[in-house]
Amino acid sequence: MRRADRLLDLIARLKGGKLVVAEQLAEQLEVSVRTVYRDIAALQAQGLPIDGQAGLGYMLRGNVNLPALTLSHDQLDAVSLGLSLVEWIGEDDLAQAAVSARAKIDATWGDQPTPAPSQRHLLARELPHRKAPPFTSSIRRAIRERRIIKLDYAAQDGSQSTRDVRPLGLRAFHAGWLLITWCNHRGAFRVFRLDRILACELSKQTFPYQAERELAAYFSERGNDSYRQGARR
């Protein structure tokens, strides 16, 4: 059993509200009593409210719920590849967030036998044209806050237009980034390539939830063709 899994198991066994002696814990976890003492000391050092002492027993005070960070090799490869890709295709804020996220995961890894995400051998690298433009961070903010944005857009044929849109989602694809929206001017879903957006301005106006104008409705209506349709605009 990996140490991370054992520590989570140990926490679960101390939650019963009764004193549990180290010998009993060692038998249940199939480790030595000395290992139990070491693990409990490590958990106490992390701030977990474990009371007791050797020879008398231990118990965990209060409700402590810790999510398990137990990932398989394939899951770790996916995390490593995904974060590496975001570093290359995300705008500066998103790229830095990927670096910080990997550092946080690495910090929890400790002495586990499997390599941490930063030490995996599966990485990604992309061409410069796939990198999101700087204003992408503003679009992400507008999506979170459900704020109308005003776009100046140049279509494939060279014509330009200004649109007030509800930003619903961002999608990265083989040639760059797509912004999926509900266009207030057209009264319909529209997809815009970020590399053709000339200007992007966040409005103070927010938009309400309307199921027929949300991202789920868009995918229900367009399906897998949405990427090809957006790429042609």
In a domain, 182, yes or no: yes
Residues 6+ apart with CB under 8 A from 70: 2, 4, 5, 8
Using the structure block, give the residue that is written with the tokens 């106490």: 44
- Tokens in use for 143? 């999506």
Same domain, 143 and 165: yes
In a domain, 66, yes or no: no
The domain containing residue 87 runs over which residues?
A: 73-130
In a domain, 67, yes or no: no
pLDDT at 108: 67
Long-range contacts made by residues 42-46, C-beta under 8 angstroms, separation at least 24? 42/7, 43/7, 43/10, 43/11
Q: Which helix (H) or strand (E) holds 180?
A: strand 176-183
Same domain, 95 and 142: no
Q: Give me the amino acid identity at 62.
A: G
Same domain, 113 and 182: no
Find the CATH number of the domain harbouring 147.
2.30.30.520
The model's pTM: 0.66
Domain boundary among 11, 26, 60: 60
> What is the tally of structural domains in the chain?
3
The number of helix segments (H) and strand segments (E) in the chain equals 8, 7
pLDDT at 76: 80
For residues 68 and 77, what is the distance between their CA atoms, to the nearest angstrom? 18
Residues 6+ apart with CB under 8 A from 170: 132, 136, 139, 140, 143, 177, 178, 179, 180, 194
pLDDT at 14: 82
Same domain, 147 and 126: no
Instruction: Encode the chain (233 residues) as per-residue pLDDT tens digits.
Output: 567 667 877 887 887 677 889 898 888 888 899 998 988 888 888 778 888 877 788 888 776 655 545 667 788 888 889 999 999 999 999 999 998 888 877 766 665 666 777 787 888 888 888 899 999 999 999 999 999 999 999 998 999 999 999 999 999 988 899 999 999 999 999 999 999 999 999 999 999 999 999 999 999 988 755 544 444 34
